[in-house]
Structure 1
Amino acid sequence: MTCSLAPPPSVVAERLAAEAGRPLDACVGNADGSVLMLRHAFPAAQGTLGEGSALRIGLLTAGGGALYQRTALGRIAQPWRTGTFNVVLPDCPGEFRSPPLALLGLAIDARHLQGHGVRLEQLHRAASALHDDPVIASVLGALWHCAEAHAGSAAFFEHGVELVLKRLAGLPVAAPATRRALSPTHLKRVQELIDAHLGDDLGVARMAQEVGQEASGFSRGFRLATGMTPYAYLTWRRMEAAKPMLLAGRSVTEVALAMGYANPGKFAAAFRRVTGQAPSRWADTATR
């Protein structure tokens, strides 16, 4: 085992460094370079994944947020939290979008898997969701700390890798996603975000980011919690904020600009949809 915390010469190390766009922060591996551990900080990114011949396990140690990952094995769209990990199989192409994060990773060349009697089909379940498994997290941490302390051995390293692989193969099938309303805490955060940016170009993606969710799942949860889509709620809040401005005698154009509408006609149409009246008529009626 290489314990110098310098990247051992291997195709796996070279590919990972190329994807990161710079040398890996710290890296250790076995003698032939077929198994590699790394610690590295990655910026927010999106692109393709699953290329190459290595099984990858990424344990989140810092950062995190909404992760999107899609392959032939399924789709992951959920918050990535510290202590949980994802799995990417070799030669299983797909796409991803990830937040800024720091990982403790393990990459194992497919040929090395055969020596542990592990078939890739046994790992399909592991690649279909994020996982919170304290045993795998503890083993990865122990392997890394031993390498840092120069206390590891080749036998210890191989035993740890074998334990991780067997644990991965036995992970339970992920439960199908259920439709759940946005929690009261998350709903309050989004409502506060909306009220603070009524005049800005605030999209669903930004609202979802506030609570660490993918946009589509966030929209469903928001609608279950409020009975309205995020855009409909934003429009309603804008119209509620516009009412006192209209009553104060400000022009429709002024109010439209304050509520983020460059076109007063679009503001008037939105106001009519929400209240059933044009802005000027509503103001006249309200002051009688």
Structure 2
Amino acid sequence: MSKSTQANLEMDAQAEFDALRQRAAALGVIPQQIAMAPDGRVRMAVLDYARFAGDLPPAGYISLGLCTRSIAPISRQSRQGTLSGVLRPGSVILSPPDEGATVRWDRCRMIAIGIDPEGLDERLNLADSRRLLSSAALRIHRDPLLTAIMTALWHESAVNGLSGDFFDHCIGRVFSRLGELAGDPPTRRRDRPLTAAQVIKVKEFIATHLEEGAGVAAMAALVGRDPASFSRAFRDATGLPPHQFLTNARMAQAEALLRDGMSVTATATAVGYTNPSKFSAAYQRYRGTKPSRCRQT
């Protein structure tokens, strides 16, 4: 990616960040934490909601909310229909990107995820996400799997940031689950599988690009595929999505370097982490021990 392209993405992300804060302030919502993908395509936040009644303008992005604190009555009336009920910790609600509504809610805390709808069906390999959004927006979902996925997304963002590949995989699972709960699983297209030679080629590429970080787009280009279909085909071939395969390779290499006596900071850099603290957290999560202890042994 060129420096000018990177700068433009950062400017777009900052504009999205500012718009999110302005929208929250207009609704009496206080953001406690905000995370934003570099391209602004995905944003996440922990939001404290005060009591509110009034008009909610369209957000321009798909909004998923997980209630994490308080029991709060909520109602939302739009041209699609009416949602009315009570939010409890673990409840999940959804709002389509282009739909305003008249709303009323009580005090609560939410983990909110905003997803750019542009190209969503292609990214997630869905046939018609819009129909699914319309039906899912009229229910309060109380489902342990949805709760677990959204909680995992937030915790993962604190360690590795908002990875497009990881988020597309998890958001795809959210949509699949919403479809299952509605008795109408979203239709998926069939991807062309990767050949054995292509899988080997990608694995070798990952192994030789741990320090700079082998992006999914680069992996896909290596075998002449678009990132979305490549990610699905790679997962079908290896059992792991590309981001997880890359992380596993980084952790395996890190363990070898630490056992050879390399410092934690140098090891973090060698396997593509610019922040030693994030590396240590990721290493402990994947290996079950701190990198410093691995080095001592």
Q: What TM-score do you get using the length of structure 2 for normalisation?
A: 0.51
Match of 1:34 in 2: 41
Structure 1's 31 and 70: CA in aligned 2 closer, same or farther, altered over 3 A?
Answer: same
Which of the residues 44, 51, 59 maps onto 2:66?
Answer: 59
Structure 1's 43 and 112: CA in aligned 2 closer, same or farther, altered over 3 A?
Answer: farther
Structure 1's 122 and 154: CA in aligned 2 closer, same or farther, altered over 3 A?
Answer: closer
1:139 lines up with 2:146 in the alignment = no
Relative contact order, higher structure (CA 8 A, sep 6+) = 1
CA distance in 1 between partners of 2:169 and 2:37 (Å): 12
1:112 deviates by 4.4
1:130 lines up with 2:140 in the alignment = yes
Q: Any idea what SS the aligned residue of 2:142 has?
A: coil
CA distance in 2 between partners of 1:127 and 1:12 (Å): 23
1:166 lines up with 2:176 in the alignment = yes
1:60 deviates by 0.4
Asked if the contact 1:63–1:102 (Cα under 8 Å) also holds between the matched residues in 2, the reply is yes
Asked if the contact 2:51–2:107 (Cα under 8 Å) also holds between the matched residues in 1, the reply is yes
CA distance in 1 between partners of 2:57 and 2:97 (Å): 5
1:84 deviates by 0.4
AA paired with 2:111?
L
CA distance in 1 between partners of 2:48 and 2:59 (Å): 21
Structure 1's 143 and 172: CA in aligned 2 closer, same or farther, altered over 3 A?
Answer: same
Asked if the contact 1:50–1:90 (Cα under 8 Å) also holds between the matched residues in 2, the reply is no
1:59 deviates by 0.6
Asked if the contact 1:60–1:84 (Cα under 8 Å) also holds between the matched residues in 2, the reply is yes
Q: Any idea what SS the aligned residue of 1:146 has?
A: helix
Structure 1's 12 and 63: CA in aligned 2 closer, same or farther, altered over 3 A?
Answer: farther
Which of the residues 84, 108, 111 maps onto 1:104?
Answer: 111
1:30 deviates by 2.3
Which structure: larger Rg? Answer: 1
1:49 deviates by 2.5
Q: Any idea what SS the aligned residue of 1:51 has?
A: coil
CA distance in 2 between partners of 1:111 and 1:129 (Å): 24
Q: Any idea what SS the aligned residue of 1:170 has?
A: helix
Structure 1's 167 and 137: CA in aligned 2 closer, same or farther, altered over 3 A?
Answer: same
Aligned identity (percent) is: 23
Match of 1:208 in 2: none
1:18 lines up with 2:25 in the alignment = no
- Deviation per CA, 1:179-234: give whole Å up to 9, x if none: xxxxxxxxxxxxxxxxxxxxxxxxxxxxxxxxxxxxxxxxxxxxxxxxxxxxxxxx
AA paired with 2:70?
G
- Deviation per CA, 1:241-288: give whole Å up to 9, x if none: xxxxxxxxxxxxxxxxxxxxxxxxxxxxxxxxxxxxxxxxxxxxxxxx
Match of 2:101 in 1: 94
AA paired with 1:167?
R
Match of 1:230 in 2: none
CA distance in 2 between partners of 1:44 and 1:63 (Å): 12
Match of 1:148 in 2: 158
Structure 1's 69 and 58: CA in aligned 2 closer, same or farther, altered over 3 A?
Answer: same
AA paired with 2:91?
T
**Aligned residue-pair number:** 167
Taking only aligned residues, the RMSD between alpha carbons, in angstroms, comes to 2.5
160-169 or 129-138: bigger deviation: 160-169
- Deviation per CA, 1:58-103: give whole Å up to 9, x if none: 1100123211111122112211111101111111121100001100
Match of 2:50 in 1: 43
Q: Any idea what SS the aligned residue of 1:68 has?
A: strand
